[in-house]
Amino acid sequence: MRLCTTEGKGATMIGIGVIGYGYWGPNLVRNFSQVAGARVVAVCDQRPERRALVEQVYPSVQTYADVGEMLRHPAIDAVAVATPVSSHFPLAMQVLQAGKHVFVEKPFTATVAEGERLVEEAEKRRLTLMVDHTFIYTSAVRKIKELLDNGALGQLYYYDSVRVNLGLFQQDVNVLWDLAVHDLSIMDYLIASSPTMIAATGMSHVPGRPENMAYLTCFFNNNLLAHFHVNWMAPVKVRQTLIGGSEKMIVYDDIEMSEKIKVYDKGIIVSQADDAVYQRHVGYRTGDMWAPRLDNVEALKIEAEHFVESVTTGKQPLSNGQAGLRVVRILEAASRSMANRGQPVEIL
């Protein structure tokens, strides 16, 4: 597709439109406005008070109440969709069919079938499709990825995640789709394989509302087990992940200000001697703990730059449509399992 060119300079300038100026939309507008080689051209929101706020803060940005009208703006090359998940598919499809690249808030889509159709449409039109898996662009998660890729942890044994708080009850999605989606996107990025089976249990304590607490287990090959605990009714805020390997273990605490990642040289030593009694089969190794230095660059800034770079170069983004689809596949299987009181669901 044709990209817009800054008048008189000859440099490629990506024009960005944003649909939805609620909770996350302002963050997207702010970060895309700061990306070199891009400018926010338009924002679409049905609420007049939100459009008025855009006009006040960004007077050069055109506002719209109608998506179709915004998509006809000739300077728009790519669109970010920051609306409830039920609207992601129709809006993203409308953007792609208008010939625009698209950046979609997570969860990617409400169903696997919808995600597959978006991936197919983007591939057919050779357009960039990126999902807003913000956490994989944080310095902490990128450092963990580096440690895993260089084999520092050895063979992975478990991935254990807790994300709980006294939080906002959602009306359209359950707690897995609201909170676990963050941790599943992190796991998908860190672990170069997908689970083969899912089991989930959950409970709703508010009549007529989706489940507000849940436990999700992902079974992998090679004896790797991943477990997620999410809850909107916890008295404290916890965002902690433990990753255990044969050589080292990691504690990732997203709330910790100075030492988000701690790497422990701890583990077990298993004796292979046939004549050893059980107590001698397992020994313990205790070494040092170290906290790697991390940068303070906002993850969404890195992500916005990555999207613009992907649009410009045609390279696949890290959190492309396939990544979003893998996470939705887990969430959809988890919802089926939860509806059947934890009955395991295989993922093909």
- From first to last of its 348 residues, the chain has per-residue pLDDT tens of 445 544 434 467 999 999 999 999 999 999 999 999 999 999 999 999 999 999 999 999 999 999 999 999 999 999 999 999 999 999 999 999 999 999 999 999 999 999 999 999 999 999 999 999 999 999 999 999 999 999 999 999 999 999 999 988 888 899 999 999 999 999 999 998 999 999 999 999 998 899 999 999 999 998 999 999 999 999 999 999 999 999 999 999 999 988 999 999 987 766 666 555 555 567 677 888 999 999 989 999 999 999 999 999 999 999 999 999 999 999 999 999 999 999 999 997
Q: Which pair of structure tokens corresponds to residue 236?
A: 């404290």
> Which pLDDT score is estimated for 7?
41
The torsion angles phi and psi of 53, rounded to 5 degrees, stand at -65, -40
| 121 & 167 share domain | no
| 112 & 142 share domain | no
User: How many CB atoms within 10 Å of residue 9?
Assistant: 8
| 28 & 55 share domain | yes
Domain assignment present for residue 335? The answer is: yes
Decide: helix, strand or coil at residue 239.
Answer: strand
Name 244's bridge partners: 158, 249
| 148 & 196 share domain | yes
> Which pLDDT score is estimated for 205?
93
Could you give the number of structural domains in the chain? 2
> Which pLDDT score is estimated for 278?
52
Q: Which pair of structure tokens corresponds to residue 145?
A: 């990825």
**What is the C-alpha separation between 302 and 297, in angstroms, rounded?**
8
User: How many CB atoms within 10 Å of residue 128?
Assistant: 25
Domain boundary among 74, 104, 127: 127
What b/e sequence results for 290-329 when a residue is b if at least 16 CB atoms lie within 10 Å of its CB, and e otherwise? eebebeeebbbbbbbbbbbbbbbeeeebbbbbbbbbbbbb
| 106 & 160 share domain | no
| 165 & 291 share domain | yes
Which residues form the domain of 191?
136-297+329-346
> Which pLDDT score is estimated for 99?
98
Q: Which pair of structure tokens corresponds to residue 52?
A: 């008025």
